[in-house]
Amino acid sequence: MTTYTPMIQQYLGVKEGHKDAFLFYRLGDFYEMFFDDATRASQLLEITLTSRDAGMKERIPMCGVPHHAAKNYIETLVQKGYKVAICEQTEDPKHAKGVVRREVVQVVTPGTIMDGKAIDQKSNLYIASAVKVAADFGVSYLDLSTGEAFATYIEGDARDLLHYLQSLRIKELVVSTGLFDELYELASAYSIVLSIEDELAIDVVRYTPEVPQPLHAAVQKLMHYVTKTQMRALDHIQAFQFIEANSILKIDTHSKRNLELIQSLRGEQKGSLLWLLDDTVTAMGGRKLKQWIHQPLASRKAIESRLQIVTELLENYFMRLELQESLKKVYDLERLAGRIAFGSVGGRDLAQLRDSLRQIPAIEKMLADSNANELMKLGKKIDNCSDIEQFLAEAITDNPPISIKEGDVIREGYHHQLDDYRYASRNGKDWIAQLEQKERQLTGVKTLKIGYNRIFGYYIELTKSNVHLADLTRYERKQTLANAERYITDELKEKEAIILNAQEKSLELEYELFTDIREKIKPFIPRIQALASTISEVDVYASFATIAERYQFTKPQFHDGTALKIINGRHPVVEKMMNKSLYVPNDCILATEENMMLITGPNMSGKSTFMRQVALIQVMAQIGCYVPAEEAVLPITDQIFTRIGAADDLAGGQSTFMVEMLESQHAIVNATERSLLLFDEIGRGTSTYDGMSLAQAMMEYIHKEIGANTLFSTHYHELTALEQALPKLRNVHVAAAEQDGKVVFLHKVKEGPADQSYGIHVAELAELPPAIIERARQLLAIFEAADSDEPVVIEKIVERIVEKEVAVPQKEDQSNQLSFFAEHKEEPQHYDATEQEVIAELKAMNISGTTPMDALQLIYKLQQALLK
């Protein structure tokens, strides 16, 4: 290292402390990178890779970016999952002895980036920390840009932890070295960057008044990491809110994805519940709505309070319109508070804060004058921060520039000395204009002008053709140009000193005054954040009222039991995407004594949509929103589990069927009597008998052991016979009709099981080749015509079909599918001794107490006995 130049030695010393980050090393107007950083960054940022003499024989790789454009390059690297350490000059070059001192002033990571083009203003950007708590995990997470912070327990294994983090779109997780090794491979599959932090030496008393002791380590780890990387005051970080499991409606990550709460299955916001409900007009209102959808309430009192506010806003139509107009003029108070704490706030930011606070008294008055109880309570929560607004009105100009070093940020009259400097500067410029006019008259040169540049200051300029008219007894040559001469006079020198001194001192003083104003605002951060929280709630309530009115939603009613009643319910997103007049509403009634629904019907008939709409109505109701139904009487649900749709988890190395089984296991193990379970075609990923057996076993277990409200759809029509064995189970089907050989989906849920599946008709709608459709119809006829007196062995039937030995037998009824349950025949039969033994064993069998797998094994044993 001693053979490198002093500057490169300094670079390597700084880099040693930030090996896991790109080091942006400030050199003049550029941030430079060297060695491996330069090679990798040139590829990632698509910038030119050059080289530099570093005191060695070989030149070292180098690349750089202009400091004024660095933000975009940093954002690009962070979005790709990298960290960037920003190294600035911390010493005035004029006073430096040798190499200018440089230090890292901030480390930007995927979880701590504060702004940028890729940052969604209506989304939180969280960074999280996790620690082991017994067999589960303790998690803390915060949004550095808004100061919002939370802590909770996550039950389950590492996959459950990462699923939870993924649902919140958390990009960075801070863990200990030991947990890093455990999570590393799995975290990369979830696109979560792991950062190591083993140090807990930080006082978190201020942050943890509501947080249980086992979670303190997670808070300490996170706060230590954020403090270490940001290297500045974090006064805006609020106390961590503890999220209790029984205070919210728990929806696991799979269910959030299946129900398309935050984004559609295509990964877009369009087509999600958030997309439908988001009529908010402020960025913080949009973030609040997303938080509510992530964590619906599980307290009847709190839910009904929200619903009442929505009702009152619906009843005060004109007031709501005025309220939303005022809200539109409120900037993002939460992120403004974050920038104040970070010291990165500019003059324009403070002007936005001032202009936002000017809207608050009107909002407060509208709520107070509404004569509606809940709205008036909400209005009383508002601290209008009028003292802050008045201070900023006196200090900041109406339209300050973006950069605080350009001047004209501080309002005239705020500081006497600044006004004097400005007066001198402004009058000096007026004097310059008067001098220019005077010199034109004296010389008779109308093109004479007085100009200014940083090197030579003020000067009088004459073109070469007019130089002979100059009075050289007064003019002193300053600079010679190709087509002109520049002069200065004693009088101009004197005024120049006054003007430039006034301008320089004015800018210096203005910058000092602005930083002082910024510091004076910092103590008000908690008040600004509290106001932001209330205003964001008002925005969400107004959005709910607007959406309810627009789509004719109904106020749901709650009770303390478990029964669920939805009359003419609709899927709100599907209804919005299509013509409302074409949407077919459906009832869903789950009584306490009959709370399982087995849904059959053809593919594409709407089974999954019906199931999803029931869950969405429950979620919407529990976030305090009106629902798409004529009537909705609902229980307070503690958890929603869905098993709808499937796809291979390639990153996790799991097949579709394994994903299906894992999600089902999670639901069945964690569900309670107050949960809502949705299972769509369980068992379809394996063989017919395996799938059917698993489906029946799950239904029986839920019926006997859990007792939760359950919707279960299936293509195994044989399972509809369970209605006789399970008292709480009711068969329904989604109707379809055949017309001119084509299937017509009616999308109406009716009582009883479906009579057929119309699978080939659906394939025909998908425009499979006609030859395949015709062959499928032939094969279906052969399967349906199989002699029910013989044991059904699919392999033998297929073998005979392939060998073209089977003619299609004619039967009176060809609509029946292969029956999983043996048909009882009334006509007398004659049996030999072996058959009598089989019959006796069948009569002695306890059907209701036998699992499907045991039944299959018994059938196989009896069949073998008959074949001997």
> Is-contact 853 693, C-beta < 8 A?
yes
| Residues 563, 592 contacting (CB under 8 angstroms) | yes
Q: How many CB atoms lie within 10 A of CB 775?
A: 11
602 annotated as belonging to a binding site for a ligand:
yes
Taking CA atoms, 200 is separated from 74, 177, 222, 293, 620, in Å, by 29, 13, 9, 33, 40
> Using CA atoms, how far apart are residues 773 and 758, in angstroms rounded to an integer?
12
Positive or negative torsion for Cα 664, 666, 672, 677: negative
Structure-block tokens of residue 238? 């609020």
Give yes or no for a contact between 593 and 727, defined as CB atoms under 8 angstroms apart: yes
Burial of 314 (0-12, 13-18, 19+ CB in 10 A): middle
Q: 116: annotated binding-site residue?
A: no
Decide the pairing of beta strands 476-480 and 484-488: antiparallel
Looking at residue 42, what DSSP letter applies?
H
Residue 543 is labelled as binding a ligand: no
Q: In angstroms, rounded to a whole number, what is the distance separating the alpha carbons of residues 410 and 396?
A: 5
The DSSP call for residue 671 is: -
Phi/psi region, residue 31 (left: phi>0; alpha: psi -120 to 50; beta: rest), is beta
**DSSP letters for 118-181:** T--TTS--EEEEEEEETTEEEEEEEETTT--EEEEEE-S-HHHHHHHHHHTT--EEEE-HHHHH
DSSP bridge pairs for 356: none
Distance, in Å, from the CA atom of 868 to the CA atom of 866, rounded to the nearest integer, reads 6
849 annotated binding-site participant: no
CA distances from 746 to 464, 602, 758 (A): 92, 11, 13
CB 506 within 8 A of CB 425: yes
Token pair recorded at residue 422:
């400005």
- Give yes or no for a contact between 348 and 325, defined as CB atoms under 8 angstroms apart: no
* Closest of 32, 19, 13 to residue 83, by C-alpha: 19
Of the candidates 336, 370, 331, the residue with the CA atom closest to the CA atom of residue 541:
370
**Angle, alpha carbons 607-755-820 (nearest 5°):** 95
Ligand-binding annotation for 284, yes or no, is no
Give 675-709 as a DSSP string. Answer: -EEEEESTTTTS-HHHHHHHHHHHHHHIIIII--E
Contact 177, 559 (CB under 8 A): no
Which H or E element spans position 519?
Answer: helix 490-521
Q: Which amino acid is at 810?
A: Q
> In degrees rounded to 5, what are phi and psi of residue 208?
-125, 35
CA atoms of 350 and 508, how far apart (whole Å): 19
State the Cα–Cα distance between residues 658 and 670, nearest whole angstrom: 18
The pair of structure tokens assigned to 116 is 């940028």
> Nearest 5°: CA angle at 232, between 231 and 234?
120
Is 274 within 8 Å of 619 (Cβ atoms)? no
Q: Please give the Cα distance from 500 to 837 (Å, whole number).
A: 116
What count of Cα atoms within 13 Å lies in the side-chain half-sphere of residue 670? Answer: 21
Q: Where are the beta strands (DSSP E) in 489-630?
A: 557-559, 564-569, 586-590, 596-600
Cα dist from 81 to 22, 104, 111, 146, 408, whole Å: 11, 20, 10, 22, 39
Q: Does 17 appear as a known binding residue?
A: no
Confirm whether residue 214 is marked as ligand binding.
Answer: no
**What does the alpha-carbon distance between residue 809 and residue 508 come to, in Å, rounded to a whole number?**
100
Cα Rg, the chain, nearest whole Å: 37
Which tokens sit at 332? 């993002």
CA distance 219 to 212: 11
Annotated binding site for ATP: 601-608
Q: Binding site: residue ranges? A: 601-608
